[in-house]
Structure 1
């Protein structure tokens, strides 16, 4: 048996040994990694689908966008409305329908590459172009709030907007941007009366101006859907906004401080939302803190545990909904957390952002870490109640127990990044381990009662002494007066 094994194993100088080693090097080359070949609109990773309670969060309820869920039986009804709204788009466009369609057709080859290959094989070029054209025109109409003009129930409108935030229900911006530019130039996004002069103004807009208008509209659409808090302008923004009437060259010079990306930087709507409201400015750098500091965060504390040691919870009004901060006070601290609306679509929305984050491979993992951080705070229904009372959780559905269960389900198979929120975690841990502060806070009720008690007694004593002294000072010396009068009588 041993001789056979030796015959199979090639000698070190054998060409087969070198070929075998070379194959290992080739297979491990970065150019063949899955991350590089990941399509711009990826499928949800398999580990996210293992949790049975979360599977529906990645499936569209009423409308399909792109090839992944196209022609599913439960989505057929919305295809009729989609065709109707696209007809309205085409009828009022400044370009002929054939011209718009051909623009999309020119992009078919590149658009196919944005999706997993096995999902596009069933479509020939003509079918794929039709799907891209219909979905693109429909999304533009929805973003510009034309869905409100259709005869839909409120729950149907909510379901449509919910479906636009699914990772597998995205349309590549490669297709969407040309259609959006045509729509914007047509001027039908504006409340201005569509006179010939107004149409000429819209048609004269540059591509840069049109893209800015579209990004502004998409941001407003997102804020309406998820009720993102209004951004408080900084001093620089106020100055910049007050200078909008300056010559264009000067405004462009001032705008050089702006770090916002151009529209073609984004691949789809979900990615656009992620960068605007989850990633935020200056988040390309990791949270401060070293690996050594992270090891001190060795457990999680619920809301009520932190409340017992003097940590309060306050809303953090920012457009970046994952922007959690910690502020120290004299004896305690405050966790500043942006308000979050808990609705039927919230679970799906957060999980799809986390799935996108996993596919994109972002180092910060902000959304995934945010969901896990909130789960660490919410252990029992009482924790939900406390966050609701502080205006951090705003819910119109379910009981406190159901909300706590939603967070438990969301974090199954989610792996937060260790560096994210390291400053916040270390501050909480440092405060929790501060024995002096904890002793004072633990005995604050007896101490305060003692202080109040003796302050009250001391106050009464001081008041009595002051009253006595005041009375003594004002009282006349009748004994001296009597002696003086007696002397006078003699």
Structure 2
């Protein structure tokens, strides 16, 4: 009985098995190929190009299709030449022409650098583009796109008579997975163009990131305001992000802008990352999902944390109540594309912790309806400029379609919440808190009234003549 194998390997070579006297069978050939072609995990975790296509399971969700397509500008080859993006193509040529006219020698140096890197750059994209562009065409495209990115990072795009909406759409498009420039090309061009050290170049990325992921304004209590005034410290030193500083990021291994953003706002400190589940573990999972309002009923409150790192969620229990600390999130037109493209990057890169995907699914578990969004807004965790509370709830439902979280992510948080939720005595106290507090207030009032009456009686009695001043003859014997 013969078995047909669909996986084919290279032709059988006698030199591969010189000790074998018999001829190489089809099965031997296939088994040898499996052994020789396998790569160790520590050598390479990547199964595709550095700048991959968005996986098909992401694109097949109808409500999310537009989240992976550029609206106004293309970067790189995947969406190059689309008719709806022609306006920005003309602007790219205009900006490059102005730069060449002003800084001819630097422009020539930058173009030669792109020519040197063209082989590396071509290898960063999917194979189907191999014959679409020759080296000259590819170099020109990389030069124009790179110069456009530098103009944007340098804040000069706003001077090109673009509407605010167009600038916002450009910012959105630069954080799409399929719309990336190889970071090696971008960083080389920045060094030649601006002639400054890398740490100063990174400040330009920081400025763009501030617009992409800004912390919503938070209401402060009187105590917090007074404390900050007394400390006389700048607010920037008080509210510190736990994300890596520019000096901590290994720029030499960054592939593109999406990955740089991921390192800064998704990956967190090693000592706390273990709490989020850095490996897939199917033995434990959070089978019960509780919305914001369900958790609120059992005494769990929601507070914004002073961090920009998306997955840095903490649960802090008290004797009776509990507090879920969640990083603030601004929600606008670019939030959904940003989170979904980060999730797509996570899927393609082999980032096994699944932190961003798990974070989005965790937020979806909290947000079931508009009332949950309303509560998070009132607590300063969400700032929305996009539709109603019900529409925001629907947005999270759409984002999590086909997303598979790491079951062990946020395990410490989930266990803490679940333990609080299932605590019988805490539930009993909360269920009877109203009558208990009423009784305490009632009997405290009666007790206070009785004590006050006794004190008033004694005070009045002391004022009467003869009290404490006895005139009987034996008084001296009684009080020597």
* Alignment TM-score > 0.5, same fold: yes
1:456 to 439, 445, 448: 445
Query: In 2, are the aligned partners of 1:165 and 1:270 still within 8 Å (CA)?
Result: yes
More displaced stretch, 305-314 vs 36-45: 36-45
More displaced stretch, 136-145 vs 283-292: 283-292
Q: Taking structure 1 as the reference length, what is the TM-score of the superposition?
A: 0.81
Q: CA deviation at 1:277?
A: 1.3
**1-side partners of 2:4 and 2:287: how far apart?**
51
1:161 aligns with 2:181: no
Query: 3-state SS of the aligned residue for 1:65?
Result: coil
Residues 236, 445 of structure 1: CA spacing in aligned structure 2 closer, same or farther, 3 A cutoff?
closer
1:470 to 430, 444, 459: 459
1:74 aligns with 2:62: no
Query: In 1, are the aligned partners of 2:249 and 2:263 still within 8 Å (CA)?
Result: no
Per-residue CA deviation, residues 10-44 of structure 1 (Å, 9 max, x unaligned), is xxx99688531441452474339995441110110
Query: 3-state SS of the aligned residue for 2:383?
Result: strand
Superposed counterparts of 1:251-270, under 5 Å: 260-270=248-258
More displaced stretch, 295-304 vs 391-400: 295-304
Alignment coverage as a number of residue pairs = 435
Structure 1 gap segments, 5+ residues each: 186-204, 238-256, 485-490
**2-side partners of 1:235 and 1:393: how far apart?**
17
Per-residue CA deviation, residues 111-137 of structure 1 (Å, 9 max, x unaligned), is 110000102421111111110000011
Query: In 2, are the aligned partners of 1:229 and 1:317 still within 8 Å (CA)?
Result: no
Q: CA deviation at 1:83?
A: 1.4
More displaced stretch, 77-86 vs 337-346: 77-86
Query: 3-state SS of the aligned residue for 2:275?
Result: coil
Q: Which residue of 2 aligns with 1:118?
A: 128
1:381 to 370, 374, 388: 370
Q: CA deviation at 1:235?
A: 13
1:271 to 259, 262, 266: 259
Q: Which residue of 2 aligns with 1:214?
A: 201
Query: In 2, are the aligned partners of 1:368 and 1:415 still within 8 Å (CA)?
Result: yes
Q: CA deviation at 1:474?
A: 2.2
1:145 to 155, 162, 171: 155
Q: Taking structure 2 as the reference length, what is the TM-score of the superposition?
A: 0.83
Q: CA deviation at 1:259?
A: 6.9
Query: In 1, are the aligned partners of 2:280 and 2:406 still within 8 Å (CA)?
Result: no
Structure 2 gap segments, 5+ residues each: 6-19, 218-234, 474-480
Residues 460, 398 of structure 1: CA spacing in aligned structure 2 closer, same or farther, 3 A cutoff?
same
1:30 aligns with 2:43: no
CA RMSD across the alignment: 3.2
Q: CA deviation at 1:468?
A: 1.3
Residues 481, 328 of structure 1: CA spacing in aligned structure 2 closer, same or farther, 3 A cutoff?
closer
1:366 aligns with 2:355: yes
Query: In 1, are the aligned partners of 2:284 and 2:407 still within 8 Å (CA)?
Result: no
Per-residue CA deviation, residues 294-350 of structure 1 (Å, 9 max, x unaligned), is 636321110001101111000011131321111112211111111100101100000
**2-side partners of 1:280 and 1:88: how far apart?**
41
Q: Which residue of 2 aligns with 1:252?
A: none
Q: Which residue of 1 aligns with 2:394?
A: 405
Query: In 1, are the aligned partners of 2:313 and 2:327 still within 8 Å (CA)?
Result: yes
Q: CA deviation at 1:365?
A: 1.2
1:327 to 311, 316, 326: 316
Query: 3-state SS of the aligned residue for 1:168?
Result: coil
Q: CA deviation at 1:229?
A: 7.2
Would you tell me which structure has more helix in proportion to its own residues?
A: 1
Q: CA deviation at 1:374?
A: 0.3
1:65 to 70, 75, 86: 75
Q: Which residue of 2 aligns with 1:437?
A: 426
Residues 98, 388 of structure 1: CA spacing in aligned structure 2 closer, same or farther, 3 A cutoff?
same
Residues 123, 227 of structure 1: CA spacing in aligned structure 2 closer, same or farther, 3 A cutoff?
same
